[in-house]
A = this chain, B = another copy of it.
Amino acid sequence: MKNVIVGQSGGPTSVINSSLAGVFEAARERGAEHVYGMRNGIQGFLEGRYVDLMGIFTKAIDIELLKRTPSSYLGSCRYKLPELFADGAKEVYDSIFEKLEELSVGYFFYIGGNDSMDTIGKLSDYGKEIGSKIRFIGVPKTIDNDLTVTDHTPGYGSAAKYIGVVMKEIIRDATVYGVNYVTIVEIMGRNAGWLTAAAALAGIGENEGVDMICLPEITFDVDRFVEKVRRMQEKKKSIVIAVSEGVKLADGRYVCELSDDVHAEDAFGHKSLTGTARYLANVVAERLDTKTRCIELSTLQRCAGHLTSRTDITEAYQVGGAAVKAAFEGHTGEMVALKRISDAPYQCTTELHPISEVANLEKKVPLEWINDDHTQMKKEFINYAYPLIQAELTPMFVGGLPQHINEL
């Protein structure tokens, strides 16, 4: 029996550890002797950093705590493997495969988004080149929900639930003074508006919901935006707007680039986007007779372990297990995807897709799910997202605080 290794990569979520739990338990049940965890993904593994999870998750309560612990238990990285035939690439790949052979690893799992699937794709391609028998399977994870082929990604449901809940609370908070007030809430998602669209969930039930939703899928025009706010405020004093950090002008610049913030780039060339809501709040305050406030949900929206969707946590666990099943049955170079059977009753299963259909690609919000005025999500989006936020996984409160698993 070969051993198993698993890593986490990219931005953390509140359910990525549930996928780790799913991989671990499925591997143990299938008889793996060692289940190694890479520290800080493939980057840490290249530096020889890993742990044997068999010696760590020894009690059932460990798994329950792990499922309830946000952020990446094993640590993460944003490391991009070199192209297969680039200068110096052979050295990197040989080093990885050598280490894997040393540990008698037969099955390799990587939990991450589209950048991470690039890693799975390159490793399985290189493995084929050198005739390695190691199986490489990707486990999807991203709050951004921008992976292709999968109906949705684990992590999205909980982030969407968090956004729906706090938008309800922000809307209530913003009405109290009965004065003209514009609240602009900045939500993550650089190119795909799935998270920002989730603000529409606040309008289900007794809350009238947000007044405007601005997705990166729609070209942003500052003047038109201010004019929409002006017209809305003629009818209603408190206006609450959800805006994606990634909204762009017609000339291709991000709106946040109009502000004065420093914008660094990461290893994948992604700009750090922040300041969109602040910029817009300042513009509205200058041009209209209203108070304004900007709120950035920041990392709170991806690490709110105290408020997860049970549907999401369960599916995150399931895709981990499905990945192990696939690898042990001989699959490689594939990603587990979620396939929706029906909306109501909600039913969902897993399937496999070649990694080439996923890596480095982005799935955006369908334009036909956005209303003609570009201010609200249509019913199609609600039907899609609503099942994903259902039910809760009760945190284990100890002394008034949710208990997490001990850090590695």
Interfacial residues, chain A to chain B (CB-CB below 8 A): 8, 12, 14, 39-40, 44, 69-72, 75-78, 161, 164-166, 168-170, 172-178, 201-202, 204-208, 260, 262, 264, 282, 285, 291, 293, 295-296, 298-300, 302-307, 309, 386, 389-392, 397-407
Verify A306–B303 contact, CB threshold 8 A: no
Verify B303–A295 contact, CB threshold 8 A: no
Cα of A158 to Cα of B19 in the assembled complex, Å: 31
Verify A404–B40 contact, CB threshold 8 A: no
Cα of A293 to Cα of B14 in the assembled complex, Å: 19
Please indicate the chain B residues that have their CB under 8 angstroms from the CB of A304 in the complex.
166, 169
Verify B401–A164 contact, CB threshold 8 A: yes
Verify B169–A305 contact, CB threshold 8 A: yes
Verify B71–A173 contact, CB threshold 8 A: yes
Please indicate the chain B residues that have their CB under 8 angstroms from the CB of A161 in the complex.
400-401
Q: Which of B177, B392, B405 contacts A77 (CB 8 A)?
A: B177
Q: Which of B75, B285, B299 contacts A170 (CB 8 A)?
A: B299
Closest to A47 in B: B178
Please indicate the chain B residues that have their CB under 8 angstroms from the CB of A175 in the complex.
71, 75, 407
Please indicate the chain B residues that have their CB under 8 angstroms from the CB of A293 in the complex.
298-299
Verify A406–B206 contact, CB threshold 8 A: yes
26 A-B pairs, CB-CB below 8 angstroms? A8-B176, A44-B178, A71-B169, A75-B176, A77-B178, A164-B400, A165-B306, A165-B401, A165-B402, A168-B404, A169-B300, A169-B304, A172-B303, A175-B407, A201-B400, A205-B398, A207-B407, A260-B260, A295-B298, A296-B296, A300-B300, A309-B400, A386-B400, A389-B401, A392-B397, A392-B400
